[in-house]
Structure 1
Amino acid sequence: MGALPVVVVGAGPSGLAAAARLVERGLEPLVLESGPRAGAAVAQWRHVRLFSPWSELVDPAGRRLLDTAGWAPPPADDHPTGAEWAARYLAPLAAALGDRVRFGARVVGVARRGRDRLVAEGRDREPLTVHVETAAGEERITARAVLDASGTWGTPNPLGGDGLPALGERAAADRIAYRVPDLAAEARRYAGGRVAVAGSGHSALTALVALADLAERHPGTRVTWLLRRGAAGTAFGGGAADQLPARGALGVAARAAVEAGRVTVVTGFRTVSVTRVDEGVVLESEDGRRLGPVDEVVALTGFRPDLSWLSEIRLDLDPASQAPAALAPLIDPNVHSCGTVPPHGAEELRQPEPDFYLVGMKSYGRAPTFLALTGYEQVRSVVAEIAGDHGAARRVELTLPGTGVCGGAGVFDAEPAATGGCCGTPAAVELAAPGPRP
């Protein structure tokens, strides 16, 4: 199987970094990207500025490959937008990889040649087959290994508080956005209206700050923040304690918007239904509270991996997070979100299916707070393992910038108590839930 390519699914940051590492190891990568360009998913949040500076967004192997092509690196301390990251780094890197990257190639299945999931005999002696749909038709590619770096962008979590779409959520789809709004392009949709933002992560904070600024320019705009948890508390992040200053500043700005009255906070609201009315939509929580009508809903409740096309691959995933079972305890949001993820690589990412790995954001399953640095170190280790350099694969070093708080998406009603671990818990900010709007 040594002459076969290593197939990488997805031409995003982790996928292209994997391809650059494979080239350095003398292995032939084939990157399959369903979109029309490198970083197609990144380009869809083009208006959002990253927390990480350029120095943490360029993979070392990718940088070496680009240097041979005369690439001019951006200033190391600048923080690019998604559009800038895609245009100034991901697109040039894909170009440097040449025909090793194929666009418009959607992977619809991966299997072991001649064997479905049930068959064990000879499984480790057969290559993997990758089933692809293109504009020209169907294709089957034989691979010595597969790295799934397809990410989670295409499968956002629903608004419903139990992980399933709320009643009426699909019928109200034209009133619900599942991405951070681009207010430069969509200001008319939100200006002067009643907007509900659901979610407690960094995407929700980004949307709240942008909408609060919009409300200053358009005084009729009303913004309500819906939190499933019982208190805002650590949702604002670690502020000055965050080791990524731009991320800490976002939480500070969101807190200021709340304290200034530009954002109204409703806690303990777990949506069970969305009802269309003449004036917009009304949201109902499982405890019977009703909010609305509102004109627009921005549901930023996280993402989940699409595992549908891996039905014939033997996977060992955590039942809660859907991350690789060996990695899951290290990133469990029920325990922490402080960035203290221990070093991990091929050993934690390997699956029962030989030579198949989940890498990049998809490796985190439903867990939040994934950084580009994590993906770059993951693929360095995995590629070393595929190349037979087991020592290099085990020598994993990764130090992530902490958020300055402990306690993640698993928080239900109570804020976690400080345990003396990676960080302390800031004092909770008590914000009462208002009654329903008339």
Structure 2
Amino acid sequence: MEPTTPPPVVVIGAGPVGLAAAAHLLERGLEPLVLEAGPGPGAAVADWGHVRLFSPWRYCLDAAARHLLESTGTWQVPDLDALPTGADLVRDYLTPLAGTLAVRDRVRYGTRVTAVARDGADRTRSLGRERRGWLVRTESDAGTRDLRAAAVVDASGTYGQPNPLGGSGLPALGEADAAPHLAGPLPDVLGRDRERFAGRRVLVVGMGHSAANTLLALTRLAEDAPGTRIVWAIRGGSPRRLFGGGADDELPARGLLGTRLREAVDAGRLDLWTRVGIERLDVVGGGVRVTGFGRAPGARTEGPFDVDVAVVSAATGFRPDLEMLREVRLDLDPVVEAPARLAPLIDPNLHSCGTVEPHGEAVLAHPDTGFYLAGMKSYGRAPTFLLATGYEQVRSIAAALAGDRAAADAVELALPETGVCSTDLEDDAGSCCGGSSGPQPVTLVGARAGDV
């Protein structure tokens, strides 16, 4: 009898973390198969390609991925101190990395994973469950197919699952009907989408770095397009956390982002509403009326929130698609929908510094062995995912799958400090984590509403 080829480790998503997972698996002698719903690598990143990251290249490159690229002898290492755009990241890193991985058909595009399950056992069956492999159901132009896998790493992200505008976790009344007036979290205000915003009144909802990028782009647009007016609505009582550590931030571009936004607010270049709860959207003429409650600029108490705008940029964050995982036994936190052991490190109700301890396979494991959420999806609804942390996650997962427990547990990551550690309390003061921010993995602007 001829030996059979063992099934691969299926990686869902060909974004930065998914491709890094494949590189680490190869480095460990394991065979990866990357399944990507989009037409190419980094499809979500390409959507915000116009945004410049505040993390220099040195923090955007995974170690195993870099080793793989350098082994080709043709890849040029970018200037490690330069700040790439999303488009740069796709063109100069993700595309060549995916091309290297695809030499043996290890990457498949246009292939959407619709379900993951134990091969031959539904969620309720326990007997012999841990000895079974995995079944991954896919949809593509070739139709519906089932693939077998030795393990599954779901790095599909959350970018396609935005949170609604409604403050209760549900869409606001009329939100679906107002869809033509809703822009994504990172519209290309100064380029592709300029005509949609120029000379119009715009509402930006959200308090992450995605919102900051859009707001600053709108202030620049307003200089050239008279009549462009900006309303900024946040659910919290103060934007202080987003303003950040300024000159104390060890990533100057990140500190400058917050500083410029603070200056724009102080100069009255936009109207900041706080404590906003959006209840209803009504299409009115060529725009949309957004109503609810909130605290108007300069007001001390809450009152009605009632604004007519042409466009709403909803930078309200994202949530994971868990429907595809209904047959997997997951141990998820009931609040943020992240792995239960990871949740206390990232739950914004408990944790507001932006510092997240490095963590690996032991924190990410679920009752069904051999299945992992990694990257942005591992953070569930928490708004502070850090790309470098995702790289360390998949390094540890690959080590565990290869049987190297010591390497899987040796999780280390020390990166620049933010220079800020604040909470958004009623009195807009206070601190956490002992009053010191500590080392923080570097965030990327844009791939998530707020923090990537």
Same fold at TM > 0.5: yes
2: CA distance, partners of 1:196 / 1:44: 21
- Does the 8 A contact of 2:375 with 2:390 survive in 1? yes
- Does the 8 A contact of 2:186 with 2:315 survive in 1? yes
**Cα-to-partner distance string for 1:261-289 (whole Å, 9 max, x where unaligned):** 21111111110111121252111124661
Deviation of 1:337 (Å): 3.7
Map of 1:351-390 to 2, 5 A cutoff?
Answer: 351-390=366-405
Q: Give the SS at the match of 2:276.
A: coil
Assess, with a 3 A threshold, how the Cα gap between structure 1 residues 23 and 279 changes in structure 2: closer, same or farther: closer
83, 88, 94: which one pairs with 1:90? Answer: 94
Q: Does 2:428 align with 1:415?
A: yes
Name the structure 2 match of 1:22: 25
Q: Give the SS at the match of 2:275.
A: coil
Q: Does 2:46 align with 1:43?
A: yes
Q: Give the SS at the match of 1:421.
A: helix
Deviation of 1:421 (Å): 1.7
166, 177, 188: which one pairs with 1:182? Answer: 188
Q: Does 2:227 align with 1:212?
A: no
- Does the 8 A contact of 1:112 with 1:128 survive in 2? yes
1: CA distance, partners of 2:56 / 2:309: 37
2: CA distance, partners of 1:376 / 1:268: 35
TM superposition score normalised by structure 2: 0.90
Name the structure 1 match of 2:134: 128
**Cα-to-partner distance string for 1:103-154 (whole Å, 9 max, x where unaligned):** 1111000000111101111100110100011101111111110000000110
How many residues end up aligned between the 2 structures? 422
Uncovered stretches (5+) of structure 2, i.e. residues with no partner: 295-302, 438-452
2: CA distance, partners of 1:203 / 1:403: 17
Q: Which amino acid aligns with 1:124?
A: E
Q: Does 2:395 align with 1:395?
A: no
Deviation of 1:366 (Å): 1.0
Map of 1:6-21 to 2, 5 A cutoff?
Answer: 6-21=9-24
254, 258, 271: which one pairs with 1:251? Answer: 258
TM superposition score normalised by structure 1: 0.93
Q: Does 2:50 align with 1:33?
A: no
- Does the 8 A contact of 1:192 with 1:221 survive in 2? yes
Deviation of 1:342 (Å): 1.2
- Does the 8 A contact of 1:16 with 1:93 survive in 2? yes
Name the structure 2 match of 1:61: 64
Name the structure 2 match of 1:429: none
2: CA distance, partners of 1:309 / 1:316: 15
Higher deviation after alignment, 42-51 or 228-237: 228-237
Name the structure 1 match of 2:300: none
Higher deviation after alignment, 371-380 or 225-234: 225-234
Name the structure 2 match of 1:317: 332
- Does the 8 A contact of 2:276 with 2:305 survive in 1? no
Assess, with a 3 A threshold, how the Cα gap between structure 1 residues 246 and 2 changes in structure 2: closer, same or farther: farther
Assess, with a 3 A threshold, how the Cα gap between structure 1 residues 113 and 186 changes in structure 2: closer, same or farther: same
**Cα-to-partner distance string for 1:40-96 (whole Å, 9 max, x where unaligned):** 111011111112111011111111110111210110001111111011100000000
Name the structure 1 match of 2:121: 115
Deviation of 1:422 (Å): 4.6
Percent identity of paired positions between Structure 1 and Structure 2: 55
Uncovered stretches (5+) of structure 1, i.e. residues with no partner: 425-438
Deviation of 1:413 (Å): 4.5
